[in-house]
């Protein structure tokens, strides 16, 4: 290739020392089978500090999402986070740590997962990627074939037309200076234009992932690796958290607005990095701090260097992380997610009290807000909706009738609890409105006398260009309907959305940036970077 970069698209291979050795496959890309990795030690999940209430919410979250492999899929018409990243540097058995770290981040991506390691003895790469959940892709034998004290890992959600092994990460390349592996969470807004430019100069792209852009930018640069990476990061625009690994170094970078979360921790003498702090709790690592916007961390044999690839722009942490995506036992920008969601519920109660008999949260991400609403109003919180964690993963059904059955298979109303009751139903967001309508009708069919819907976020009216898989603007019900029209569409007795001010005050993000340090573009159309509405909104992962 003109820029001398070659992508390894196989699911797994071992690369020898030096840039010229050819890959030797050790897996065929199909779902892994065989002995599973050892289970987490007793008490290992959510073992960090926190209230019993937080631990209970976290256990419910894990049971619903991981133990049965059930995710927030298309049946529920919910937004999808695209990716989660995890990195290890300077800690033995890095692949096993990456496995457990990715397991903790499974909610951020259920389509594929992968791990790439550097053998500290030879400096060579070993990696494995596969389609499916972390526990489906990796076995004890596979982890044993990934030696080393350095690793980067990735979990990914699919985007339209991109559900293929070649897009699973980490993406692994060979170029003139050796081996290169890249894992990212987010979306590069200007990737299409950079890609066209690179293709016009002879670059050949082998995936549909925009993450490949940064590898080509690095490979074409005449500068040393760190300088080339710094220049490449300056060129790209969007929301991203990057882990970039070579045979000698690990680079960690966050976009200049801090849109996508990325945290740093310590484990013994080594360092760990993750999209969320819940991954640190799982492996027993100590949280150090969040990676700052525009920051570039360089880890090599000399230790850790803290630099910048660019100056911080307006801080704009993704509001949907606090509302919906992140696990309740995670902290983002030192704000606990469960606490923030409870406060959103409390603020909802102040802004939109309604006389009712019970408060019900839509499992699972709305439970914390429902608890807050109930505590503020004194109305009892009840488990009026139950998610069936053993229903299996379901996908878009071919008919409306089957789709309705799919919803009922995964979620059911508890008739003995809701019958004859005036119900306040708390949910985190309304996207198209179809799911809200189904759940409201489900409560009515179970005998609810009234159903009042309270949403712990403002109306979601604009698409995201920074790594959330959102529908076209025309499909977002809040982009074309008033609150009253949405209420009629979902068959609710009343409807209220949390105000933007209430959201910002509830999240309590440190600092005094515009929007309280949050990106509220999906609510107010105020994007922190230039965007092209004709461009792809899909995640670059």
Of the residues 83, 116, 278, 541, only one is catalytic, namely: 83
Task: Give the angle 532-214-83 at the CA atoms, nearest 5°.
Answer: 75
Q: Is 41 helix (H, G, I), strand (E, B) or coil?
A: coil
For the question of residue 83 being annotated catalytic, the response is: yes
Q: Diameter of the chain by CA atoms?
A: 72
Rg (CA), the chain: 23
d(CA 232, CA 303) in angstroms, rounded, equals 23
Q: Pairing mode, if any, of strands 83-89 and 270-274?
A: antiparallel
DSSP state of 29: S
User: What are the angstrom distances between the C-alpha of 45 and each of 69, 103, 151, 444?
Assistant: 16, 10, 22, 37
Q: DSSP string of 180-228?
A: EEEEEEEEETTHHHHHHHHHHTT----SS-THHHHHHHHHH-SS-HHHH
Q: What's the number of CA atoms in the CB half-sphere (13 Å) around residue 411? A: 24
Known binding residues for Mg(2+): 365, 427-428
Contact between 463 and 470 under an 8 Å Cβ cutoff? The reply is yes
Phi-psi group of 294: left, alpha or beta (phi > 0 → left; psi -120 to 50 → alpha; rest → beta): left
Beta strands in 286-397 (DSSP E): 286-290, 295-300, 303-308, 317-318, 331-332, 335-336, 358-361, 385-387
Q: Pairing mode, if any, of strands 295-300 and 250-254?
A: antiparallel
d(CA 18, CA 7) in angstroms, rounded, equals 16
Phi-psi group of 511: left, alpha or beta (phi > 0 → left; psi -120 to 50 → alpha; rest → beta): left
Kindly report the number of other CB atoms within 10 A of residue 438's CB atom: 21
Place of tokens 């360089």: 298
d(CA 67, CA 483) in angstroms, rounded, equals 37
Kindly report the number of other CB atoms within 10 A of residue 402's CB atom: 11
User: What are the angstrom distances between the C-alpha of 329 and each of 47, 259, 364, 465?
Assistant: 10, 20, 13, 26
Helix axes 500-507, 337-351, angle to 10 degrees: 150
User: What are the angstrom distances between the C-alpha of 134 and each of 36, 110, 156?
Assistant: 10, 8, 10
What are φ and ψ of residue 460, in 5° steps? -85, 100
Known binding residues: 318, 365, 427-428, 464, 519, 522
d(CA 309, CA 311) in angstroms, rounded, equals 7
What are φ and ψ of residue 326, in 5° steps? -70, 155
Known binding residues for [4Fe-4S] cluster: 318, 464, 519, 522
Enzyme catalytic residues:
83
């Amino acid at each position: 290739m003109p820029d001398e970069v070659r992508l390894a698209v196989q699911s797994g291979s071992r690369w020898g020392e030096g840039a010229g050795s050819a890959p030797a496959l050790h897996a065929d890309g199909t779902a892994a089978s065989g002995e599973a990795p050892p289970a987490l030690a007793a008490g290992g999940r959510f073992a960090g500090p926190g209230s019993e209430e937080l631990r209970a919410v976290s256990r419910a979250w894990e049971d619903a999402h991981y133990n049965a492999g059930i995710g927030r899929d298309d049946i529920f018409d919910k937004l999808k986070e695209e990716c989660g990243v995890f990195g290890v540097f300077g800690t033995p058995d890095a692949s096993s740590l990456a496995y457990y770290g990715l397991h903790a981040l499974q909610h951020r991506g259920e389509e594929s997962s992968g791990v790439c390691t550097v053998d500290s003895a030879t400096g060579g790469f070993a990696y494995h990627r596969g389609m499916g959940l972390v526990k489906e892709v990796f076995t004890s034998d596979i982890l044993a074939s990934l030696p080393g004290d350095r690793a980067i890992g990735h979990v990914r959600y699919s985007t339209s037309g991109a559900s293929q092994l070649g897009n699973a990460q980490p993406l692994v390349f060979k170029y003139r200076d050796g081996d290169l592996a890249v894992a990212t969470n987010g979306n590069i807004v200007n990737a299409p234009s950079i890609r066209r430019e690179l293709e016009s100069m002879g670059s050949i792209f082998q995936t549909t992932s925009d993450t490949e852009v940064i590898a080509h930018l690095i490979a074409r640069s005449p500068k040393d690796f760190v300088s080339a990476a710094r220049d490449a990061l300056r060129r790209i625009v969007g929301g991203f958290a990057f882990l970039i690994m070579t045979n000698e170094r690990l680079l960690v970078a966050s976009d200049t607005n801090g849109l996508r979360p990325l945290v740093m921790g310590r484990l013994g003498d080594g360092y760990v990095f993750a999209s969320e702090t819940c991954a640190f709790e799982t492996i027993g690592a100590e949280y150090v701090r969040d990676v700052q916007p525009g920051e570039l961390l360089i880890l090599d044999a000399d230790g850790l260097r803290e630099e910048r690839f660019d100056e911080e722009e307006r801080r704009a942490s993704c509001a949907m992380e606090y509302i919906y995506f992140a696990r309740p036992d995670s902290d983002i920008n030192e704000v606990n997610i469960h606490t923030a969601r409870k406060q959103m519920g409390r603020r909802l109660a102040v802004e939109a009290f309604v006389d009712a008999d019970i408060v019900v949260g839509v499992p699972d991400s709305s439970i914390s807000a429902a608890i807050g609403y109930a505590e503020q109003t004194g109305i009892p919180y009840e488990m009026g909706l139950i998610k069936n964690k053993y229903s299996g993963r379901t996908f878009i059904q071919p008919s409306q009738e089957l789709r309705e059955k799919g919803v009922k298979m995964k979620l059911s109303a508890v008739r003995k609890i809701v019958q004859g009751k005036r119900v306040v139903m708390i949910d985190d967001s309304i996207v198209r409105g179809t799911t809200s309508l189904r759940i409201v009708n489900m409560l009515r069919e179970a005998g609810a006398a009234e159903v009042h819907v309270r949403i712990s976020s403002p109306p979601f009216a604009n698409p995201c260009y920074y790594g959330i898989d959102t529908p076209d603007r025309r499909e977002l019900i809040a982009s074309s309907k008033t609150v009253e029209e949405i209420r009629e569409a979902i068959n609710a007795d009343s409807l209220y959305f949390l105000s933007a001010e209430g959201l910002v005050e509830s999240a309590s993000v440190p600092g005094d940036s515009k929007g309280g340090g949050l990106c509220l573009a999906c609510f107010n159309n105020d994007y922190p970077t230039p965007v092209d509405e004709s461009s792809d909104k899909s995640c670059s992962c």
